[in-house]
Amino acid sequence: MRKAKRLSIYFFILGFCSCLLLIGTVRFLTHLEWSSFFSGDDDMSEEATFYPLGHCPDCQKISTKYWKIGSLDDNNPVHLECAHRMGITPYETNAALESNIKSHLLRGHMEKLEDTENYKLKELTHSYPYLVPKAVTLLNEIGDRFENKLELADIKPHYMMISSVLRTIESQNGLGKKNSNATTVSAHIFGTSVDISYKEFLPRHGKKAREGFCRHDLMRHVLAEVLTEMSNEGRCKVVIEKRQACFHITVAN
In contact, 139 and 164? CB cutoff 8 Å: no
How many angstroms separate the CA atoms of 145 and 133, rounded?
A: 19
- Give 100-149 pLDDT, tens digit per residue: 999 999 999 999 999 999 999 999 988 999 999 999 999 999 999 999 99
Select from 47, 226, 65 the least CA-distant residue to 139. 226
Q: 3 vs 54, which has greater pLDDT?
A: 54
Dihedral angle sign, alpha carbons of residues 209, 213, 219, 224 = positive
**Which pLDDT belongs to residue 38?**
37
| CA distances from residue 108 to 101, 112, 114 in whole angstroms, order as listed | 11, 10, 16
Select from 68, 211, 219, 222 the least CA-distant residue to 145. 222
How many angstroms separate the CA atoms of 126 and 165, rounded?
A: 9
Tell me the whole-structure pTM to 2 decimals: 0.78
Q: Reply yes or no on whether the pLDDT at 34 is more than 50.
A: no
- Give 190-240 pLDDT, tens digit per residue: 999 999 999 999 998 888 888 889 888 899 999 999 999 999 999 999 999
How many Cα atoms sit within 13 Å of 97 on the Cβ side?
23
**Which pLDDT belongs to residue 46?**
62
How many angstroms separate the CA atoms of 246 and 175, rounded?
A: 15
How many angstroms separate the CA atoms of 220 and 197, rounded?
A: 8
Q: Looking at the chain, list the stretches that DSSP marks H as alpha helix, in order from N- to C-terminal side.
A: 2-30, 35-39, 57-63, 76-86, 94-107, 133-152, 169-176, 220-232
**Which pLDDT belongs to residue 104?**
95
